[in-house]
Structure 1
């Protein structure tokens, strides 16, 4: 029987990121995908032209509907644009005892558009991070969260320590923004684990963060430990990028169904 997995995130009208990317990723990683939509965005490969928040009470109703009927084995959390929505999500996840929570702290889109309001950052950090089994910031996000500039592997090590010690959750710092490699670093509070990634010469990276975090959640739901879930997820995203799908006039999406011919 397929394991159910929930994504809590915003909708991407172009289909490359957000809820749409999450559902594709979860389905193609062999789990049953469910969704709670936190915001509607008008966006494409060129950027975000509008964001419409879903009322926080309705976000709560969506969560209640899922958890009282099909209890998820893992939860991926993506775009959250207001502190009211974050508070409702945190309270609901604690109420239901949600497990295997993966938080992708989305602050800006791949195209550089700001997606998270300033007053929501502290709320996300203090209410959601402590509930997570792992958070998955990229280098710019890890720099914001740790308060240090990240240019080297040593900087990544220091940043993950700072973030873990502050919020008491495992931290996967994604190295895709590094100029030299695409290696990711996991710190679990005791040990550091490097996940080597091959740098792929493909500028179409719209939705990579959504895809990786959803793949991690999918594999956690299937019973894999965190290390193995990350390893499988990185291989999936590398293959999806390597397919060289080319859509749109900006940073295009990945080929989530690369193995379907």
Structure 2
């Protein structure tokens, strides 16, 4: 295989509904023009209500599946998802060390999309200690990350950075933390590569994957494909997000925003519900807010950064999220302020100046408008 048609080996569980697990990986990898090979770790009996039964395969059976694929196909990338025993983790570690594939994407399935724990603590710790250091990138959701390193889901960009840096200490080349609910109607992902240490924030419309089954595994498979096609990690993440966003949008009712729960990989309709241009502008706008919200809340500033008019920016945010640019900016700022009030010992004046307010009185007025109380009262009540 060449970079245009790489081979991806997915090591994860089987979903009898076909919406997640190995089935979703095959669909995603194939749709993106790569060849999908598989090794199943566990067989699930599940439907739209969730997993009903789990039947784990032995480490010996898992090893046999992986070895015959690697010996014949020499996959360009290996994606590792659900592992259910320490013995399975040891098998994967041994094989990764022996064969050293070009790219390894680790997607620890610790907590299911319905909040059920799928990996015992000792297995999670084995994965953390044995596999993270062998990975090109770890793709992990907030709740799973909290389970691994402790703490609660991040409420701010600083919280997300702390979580990612704690995971980087286990040796991966990069970590992508998914699902930071920093602002209403948006989800924030954070990528940090160990080589640079620089945070890269990616923000996407929050409604598009809340009710859709199998998004996480399909996304990490897409990252593996784009890495195998020669893209840098940051570029691979961006391309995977673009693909998944459009796939999800085509799979849900755009009017009610209620998910069908199953991704429609085979949708023949080539027209996206929201054009790539609009979605790209929205995401860039939210990324600009993440980088500049301490400096300004001026809509014109952000429109200028994006080389569009404030009027057009308003049309974009209304189409994608049903909100004005100012609402999105203020919502992001207030959530970051709340995190500072609850998570630091800074006084009110320090926080006000940190967020670019000219006076404490101006800061108090903004906070009261957004939360119907003063910052001091908010801190005391919580």
1:1-261 counterparts in 2 under 5 A?
1=2, 2-149=5-152, 150-175=154-179, 180=184, 181-189=186-194, 190-201=197-208, 203-245=210-252, 252-258=261-267
The one of the two structures with greater contact order (alpha-carbon pairs below 8 A, sep at least 6) is 1
Deviation at 1:199, TM superposition (A): 2.5
Which stretch of the first structure deviates more once superposed, 158-167 or 142-151? 142-151
Larger Rg: 2
RMSD: 2.0
Higher helix proportion? 2
Number of equivalent positions:
259
Q: Tell me if the contact between 2:111 and 2:119 (Cα under 8 Å) persists in the aligned partners.
A: yes
Q: What is the CA deviation profile of residues 38-80 of structure 1, one whole-angstrom value per residue up to 9, with x for unaligned ones?
A: 1101111211111111111111111110111101111111111
Q: What is the CA deviation profile of residues 83-107 of structure 1, one whole-angstrom value per residue up to 9, with x for unaligned ones?
A: 1111111101111112210011111
Unaligned runs of 5+ in 2: 254-258, 271-382
Cα distance change, pair 142–178 in 1 and its aligned pair in 2 (3 A): farther
SS of 1:81's partner is: coil
Q: Tell me if the contact between 1:40 and 1:53 (Cα under 8 Å) persists in the aligned partners.
A: yes
Which stretch of the first structure deviates more once superposed, 7-16 or 145-154? 145-154
Q: Tell me if the contact between 1:111 and 1:251 (Cα under 8 Å) persists in the aligned partners.
A: no
Which stretch of the first structure deviates more once superposed, 76-85 or 182-191? 182-191
SS of 1:35's partner is: strand
Deviation at 1:183, TM superposition (A): 2.1
TM-score, normalised to structure 2's length?
0.64
Structure 1 CA distance, aligned partners of 2:145 and 2:117?
A: 16
Q: Tell me if the contact between 1:47 and 1:113 (Cα under 8 Å) persists in the aligned partners.
A: no
Q: What is the CA deviation profile of residues 186-226 of structure 1, one whole-angstrom value per residue up to 9, with x for unaligned ones?
A: 01122111122122356432111101100000111111111
TM-score, normalised to structure 1's length?
0.93
Unaligned runs of 5+ in 1: none
